[in-house]
A = this chain, B = another copy of it.
Amino acid sequence: MDRFEDIRAAALELFTRQGFRATTMADIGAAVGMRGPSLYKHVESKQDLLARIMTTTMEALSAGYRTAVASSDDPAQRLRRATEAHVRYHARHRLEAFVGNREIRSLVDPHRARVLALRAEYEHGFRELVADGVAAGVFHVDSVRLASYAVLDLGMGVSAWYREDGELTEDAVVWQYSTFALRLVGHTR
């Protein structure tokens, strides 16, 4: 019915498997049963397709972060919740997250700057969470920046190898990874 959504999904799948530049409009068309040029009846451009994927992804991550942080005042609890949201998104929307991390270079400048800004803000949020825990004396790390990078990197990894039909459920991955995050920052309960 909704041709646009079909196209977006097909493009996402192909961008993930082959990369943005290696995916042709003809490929995307074939995946939804039409020729390349016909796509332009539904879509503005290949670049626009990528831009939509990347901005909605970053906005979804940011929204998840805000909800997680608002749910508690305890630093450890907040970091766990934020990491859960982070990892859950990377598992549930692994294609979006994968492309979002990998194809910033392919994004052209109005959108690119916007996505980079969103991402910087997102990273900053995690750094603050770690810093709060250190200030409260419940986390112990040498470098706050390093630790927050490490936590974020865990999520990126998930989007690379997670499979819905794998042996581990989404909840299991989310739980273990958020445990990893707390261990990593030296949380003492």
Contact = CB atoms under 8 A, between A and B. Distances in A.
A19 B106 contact: yes
Interface stretch (A32-40, A47-55, A176-184): A176-184
A158 to B, nearest CB: 8
Contact of A152 (B17, B21, B157): B157
A176 B105 contact: no
A184 B176 contact: no
Contacts of A18: 105
A176 B21 contact: no
A9 interface: no
Q: How many copies does the complex hold?
A: 2
A177 B146 contact: yes
A156 interface: yes
A168 B186 contact: no
Contacts of A150: 154, 157, 177, 180
Nearest to A17: B105
Q: What 8 pairs across the A-B complex have the smallest Cβ distances?
A: A153-B157, A21-B21, A183-B183, A180-B184, A142-B176, A146-B176, A150-B180, A183-B184
Given A18-B105, A147-B180, 20 more contacts: A19-B21, A19-B105, A19-B106, A21-B21, A22-B105, A102-B102, A141-B176, A142-B172, A143-B176, A146-B168, A146-B173, A149-B161, A150-B180, A152-B157, A153-B153, A153-B157, A156-B156, A156-B157, A183-B183, A183-B186
19 contacts: A18-B105, A19-B21, A21-B22, A22-B105, A22-B106, A102-B102, A143-B168, A143-B172, A143-B176, A146-B173, A147-B180, A149-B157, A149-B161, A150-B154, A153-B160, A156-B157, A180-B184, A183-B183, A183-B184
